[in-house]
Amino acid sequence: MTKIDNIVPKNKEDIDFIKNLKKKQIYEIKDFIPELLEWTQDGNWPQARLIIDYLLPHVNEIDSELVKILNGNDSTWKYWILLGLINNSETKPSDKILTIVYDLYHNPSIEDKEEEIDSIAQEIIEKW
């Protein structure tokens, strides 16, 4: 698969990518997950909601990529991943994800506290 398949947005105006993305199974786009997740860094971007909706049933299949984000320093991105994907998952998140969520709740950085990461983490813990 190449970018020619148009499954990753080209720019902030591109929303046509979703038609092509929806035609693909999660295993077919595995190599593009990190690039797609970059478009979730700001939940206000139109592509973010489309990508989150596509990835929502697959949270545990992409847990390695999500853990990398949750272990990172971008608190805003963590916020959107926790709020959009993990908190809305119909399936219990993997132990890999939940371990990080517990840590974000109990040991949030100053930036994470400012983004209310600890509060969202608490909601996820209470849910599961």
For the segment 8-17, the average pLDDT, to the nearest whole number, is 93
For the segment 68-90, the average pLDDT, to the nearest whole number, is 97
Inter-residue contact 120 to 128 (CB < 8 Å): no
pLDDT in tens, 23-78: 999 999 999 999 999 999 999 999 999 999 999 999 999 999 999 999 999 999 99
User: Per CATH, the architecture of 14-127 is what?
Assistant: Alpha Horseshoe (1.25)
pLDDT in tens, 59-72: 999 999 999 999 99
Domain ranges (residues) in the chain: 14-127
Output Rg (C-alpha) for the chain, integer angstroms: 14
What's the predicted TM-score (pTM) here? Answer: 0.92
